[in-house]
């Protein structure tokens, strides 16, 4: 009976040692899991901020390009389409000629008025 009780006591000590080691390993693993959760949460927060900033920047750029295209889109002409290209070219040259003529006449008129004084 003594041998049985000693063997039982030794067994209980081994079980206690194994349980203590297992609990320490479990606590270490839980600490790693908690650190991982914290790191993942921080990463997700940064990623969300990055995606929001990127979407804002892309949206702003697309808006700027659209505004530019809406305002100056008529200047984009396919040079291989000869009729459209020459039509746009003549129209812009005529507009420039009119602007130059108006400015030249205005300058001549203002100089004559200045000389009369």
44 and 85 part of one domain: no
User: Which residues span the domain enclosing 114?
Assistant: 77-117
In the prediction, which pLDDT does 115 show?
Answer: 81
Is 56 found in the same domain as 2? yes
Q: How far apart are CA 81 and CA 90, in angstroms?
A: 14
Query: Do 35 and 82 share a domain, yes or no?
Result: no
State whether 3 and 35 are in the same domain: yes
Q: With contact defined as beta carbons under 8 Å apart, do 78 and 85 qualify? A: yes
DSSP string covering 40-102, please?
HHHHHHHHHHHHHHHHHHHHHHHHHHHHHHHHHGGG---TTSHHHHHHHHHHHHHHHHHHHHH
Q: Which residues of the chain have pLDDT under 50?
A: none
Per the rule left: phi > 0, alpha: psi between -120 and 50, beta: everything else, 91 is alpha
CA 40 to each of CA 33, 35, 43: distance values in angstroms, whole numbers, following the listed order: 10, 9, 5
Instruction: Specify whether 42 is located in the same domain as 14.
Output: yes
Domain count, the chain: 2
Looking at the structure, do residues 84 and 64 belong to the same domain, yes or no?
A: no
pLDDT of 77 reads 84
The answer on 69 and 45 residing in a single domain is yes
Together in a domain, 84 and 63 = no
């Amino acid at each position: 009976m003594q041998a049985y009780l000693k063997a039982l006591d030794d067994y209980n000590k081994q079980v206690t040692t194994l349980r203590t080691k297992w609990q320490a390993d479990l606590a270490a693993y839980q600490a790693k899991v908690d650190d991982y959760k914290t790191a993942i949460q921080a990463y997700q927060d940064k990623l969300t901020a990055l995606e929001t900033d990127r979407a804002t920047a892309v949206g702003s750029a697309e808006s700027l390009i659209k505004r530019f295209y809406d305002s100056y889109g008529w200047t984009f002409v396919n040079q291989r389409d000869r009729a459209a290209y020459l039509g746009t070219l003549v129209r812009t040259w005529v507009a420039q000629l009119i602007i130059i003529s108006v400015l030249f006449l205005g300058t001549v008129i203002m100089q004559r008025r200045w000389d009369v004084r």
